[in-house]
C-alpha cells in the first residue's frame, strides 16, 4: 500500500511576498520525493494577504520545475472554456511535468463580490465546461450545443502534448457521483478517515454507473498537516482545520459528527463565506469552540510517528494521493521531515 501512495504539496495562499519566495519554496520542494505541486485558484481568500493570479504563477513555474502542477481548485464561472482550454494547453507545452486541473462548482468569495453570476445550475455548468475543454483539446473541429456553452465548427490551434486530467473538488453526494462518472481524480478537502471512506462510496457508484474501474480515479485529499514534538506547539496551527470545519458543519453532521455551535448560521457554509473584517472577527471568536479532538480528526498533526499513523488511517480509508497543506508550526522543518523521513518511509526508500 505504501509504495502506491503519492505525496504532493499545496503552495501557501495567501502567498508570501515577494512572489519570488514561492519560486524558492518550489526549488526547495524539488529536493524531496514530492509528486506534484498544487495551488489554490482564488480572487479572495482567508486570511488577508497577497493573492496573485494562480494561472500566471503556474505559467512561470511551468518553465522552472519538472514537478507536475495542478489547481485546487478552479471554477467554470470566471473564464470561458475555450479561453481556458487554450490557456491550459499552452501551459502544458511550457511545462516539464504536465498539468492537472482541479475544478469545482464555485464558491461565493470568488464570485459574489465581483458580480459574477454562478448560482444557476453551477454543477451542470461545470460538467459542460469539462466537456467543452475535452472537445477542444482533441484538435478537431467540433460543434456542441449545451445549456451554457455552444460551439459551431470550433477548434483551437494548439492541443496539449499530454492528457490534461480533471480532478473534481466534490464535497457533496451529487458531485461525488459525477466525479466517479467523468473525472480522472477526486480532490476533496475537509475529510476524516471516517467521512472519506463513506463519501468514497459515492465516487465508486458513479464509476460503476459509467462502467469505469475505480482504480482509474486518483483518490486525493487536501489536508492540513503540522509536525511538532510538543502538543502545545500545535495550538495555534489548529486554527486552520478549525476554520475549515466551521465552514462545513453541514458536512460534519452528514458524516455523523455531533457539533453544536449556536452562533453559527447558514452563512458559515463554506460555499457562502466571503472574506471581510466582520466575518473574520466572528471566525476568530468561534475557533476556540471547535473541539481539539475534532481538528485532530480532520488533519494530520502531531509528532512524526503520529503523522505516520494518521496517514495510514487515511490510506486504509481509500486515499492514495495526499495533497498536504503545510501549516508548520515550522513549515521548513515540517517539509524536511516529510521529504527525508515520512515520504521515504512509505515509499520504502
Q: Note whether 214 and 324 are same-domain residues.
A: yes
| Integer CA distances (angstroms), 122 to 85, 91, 247, 274, 294, in order | 19, 26, 19, 18, 31
Note if the pTM is more than 0.75: yes
Q: Note whether 124 and 257 are same-domain residues.
A: no
Q: Note whether 74 and 118 are same-domain residues.
A: yes
Q: Note whether 213 and 273 are same-domain residues.
A: no
Selection from 56, 17, 12, 15 nearest residue 37 by Cα = 12
Q: Is the pLDDT of residue 291 over 90?
A: no
The pLDDT of 252-261, averaged and rounded, is 75
% of the chain beyond a pLDDT of 70:
96
The residue written with cell numbers 476568530 in the block is: 284
Distance of alpha carbon 82 from alpha carbon 136, whole angstroms: 7
Please tell me the predicted confidence (pLDDT) of residue 3. Answer: 60
Distance of alpha carbon 284 from alpha carbon 47, whole angstroms: 11
Please tell me the predicted confidence (pLDDT) of residue 52. Answer: 95
Selection from 138, 217, 193, 143 nearest residue 309 by Cα = 193
Q: Note whether 213 and 269 are same-domain residues.
A: no
Q: Is the pLDDT of residue 265 over 70?
A: no
What is the per-residue DSSP string for 111-162?
Answer: TGGGT----SSHHHHHHHHHHHHHHHHT-S-EEEE-SS-EEEEE--S---SS
- Provide the CATH number for the domain around residue 61: 3.20.20.30
Q: Note whether 88 and 126 are same-domain residues.
A: yes
pLDDT in tens, 192-235: 999 999 999 999 999 999 999 999 999 999 999 999 999 999 99
Selection from 66, 17, 75, 4 nearest residue 37 by Cα = 66
Please tell me the predicted confidence (pLDDT) of residue 287. Answer: 86
Q: Note whether 97 and 10 are same-domain residues.
A: yes
% of the chain beyond a pLDDT of 90:
79
pLDDT in tens, 2-39: 568 999 999 999 898 999 999 999 999 999 999 999 99
The pLDDT of 236-256, averaged and rounded, is 83
Distance of alpha carbon 18 from alpha carbon 208, whole angstroms: 47
pLDDT in tens, 110-129: 999 999 999 999 999 999 99
Q: Is the pLDDT of residue 324 over 80?
A: yes
Q: Note whether 52 and 93 are same-domain residues.
A: yes
Q: How confident is the model at residue 247 (pLDDT cuts 50, 70, 90)?
A: confident
Please tell me the predicted confidence (pLDDT) of residue 2. Answer: 55
Task: List the domain range (segments joined by +) for residue 48.
Answer: 2-232+300-347
Q: Is the pLDDT of residue 254 over 90?
A: no
Q: Note whether 314 and 246 are same-domain residues.
A: no
Q: Note whether 170 and 160 are same-domain residues.
A: yes
Q: Note whether 276 and 151 are same-domain residues.
A: no
Counting the structural domains of the chain, the total is 2
Selection from 329, 95, 296 nearest residue 194 by Cα = 296
Q: Note whether 148 and 178 are same-domain residues.
A: yes
Amino acid at each position: 500500500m505504501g509504495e502506491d501512495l503519492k505525496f504532493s504539496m499545496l503552495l501557501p495562499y495567501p502567498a508570501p511576498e515577494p512572489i519570488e519566495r514561492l519560486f524558492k519554496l518550489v526549488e526547495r520542494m524539488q529536493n524531496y520525493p514530492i509528486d506534484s505541486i498544487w495551488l489554490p485558484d482564488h480572487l479572495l481568500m482567508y486570511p488577508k494577504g497577497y493573492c496573485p493570479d494562480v494561472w500566471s504563477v503556474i505559467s512561470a513555474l511551468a518553465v522552472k520545475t519538472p514537478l507536475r502542477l495542478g489547481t485546487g481548485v478552479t471554477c467554470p464561472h470566471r473564464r470561458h472554456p475555450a479561453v481556458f482550454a487554450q490557456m491550459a494547453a499552452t501551459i502544458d507545452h511550457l511545462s516539464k511535468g504536465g498539468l492537472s486541473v482541479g475544478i469545482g462548482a464555485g464558491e461565493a468569495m470568488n464570485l459574489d463580490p465581483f458580480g459574477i453570476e454562478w448560482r444557476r445550475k453551477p454543477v451542470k455548468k461545470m460538467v459542460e465546461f469539462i466537456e467543452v475543454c475535452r472537445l477542444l483539446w482533441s484538435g478537431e473541429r467540433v460543434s456542441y450545443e449545451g445549456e451554457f456553452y455552444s460551439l459551431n465548427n470550433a477548434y483551437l490551434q494548439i492541443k496539449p502534448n499530454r492528457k490534461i486530467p480533471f480532478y473534481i473538488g466534490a464535497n457533496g453526494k451529487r458531485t461525488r457521483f459525477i466525479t466517479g462518472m467523468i473525472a480522472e481524480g477526486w480532490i476533496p478537502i475537509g475529510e476524516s478517515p471516517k467521512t472519506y471512506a463513506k463519501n468514497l462510496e459515492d465516487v465508486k457508484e458513479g464509476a460503476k454507473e459509467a462502467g469505469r474501474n475505480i482504480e482509474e480515479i486518483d483518490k486525493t485529499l487536501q489536508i492540513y498537516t503540522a509536525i511538532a514534538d510538543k502538543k502545545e506547539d500545535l495550538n495555534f496551527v489548529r486554527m486552520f482545520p478549525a476554520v475549515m470545519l466551521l465552514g462545513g458543519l453541514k458536512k460534519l453532521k452528514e458524516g455523523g459528527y455531533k457539533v453544536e455551535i449556536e452562533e453559527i448560521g447558514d452563512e458559515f457554509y463554506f460555499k457562502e463565506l466571503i472574506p471581510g473584517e466582520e466575518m473574520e472577527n466572528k471566525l476568530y471568536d468561534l475557533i476556540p469552540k471547535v473541539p481539539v479532538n475534532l481538528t485532530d480528526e480532520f488533519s494530520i498533526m502531531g509528532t512524526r510517528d503520529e503523522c505516520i499513523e494518521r496517514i495510514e488511517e487515511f490510506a486504509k480509508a481509500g486515499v492514495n494521493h495526499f495533497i498536504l497543506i503545510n501549516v508548520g508550526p515550522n513549515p521548513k522543518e515540517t517539509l524536511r521531515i516529510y521529504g527525508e523521513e515520512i515520504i521515504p518511509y512509505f515509499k520504502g526508500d
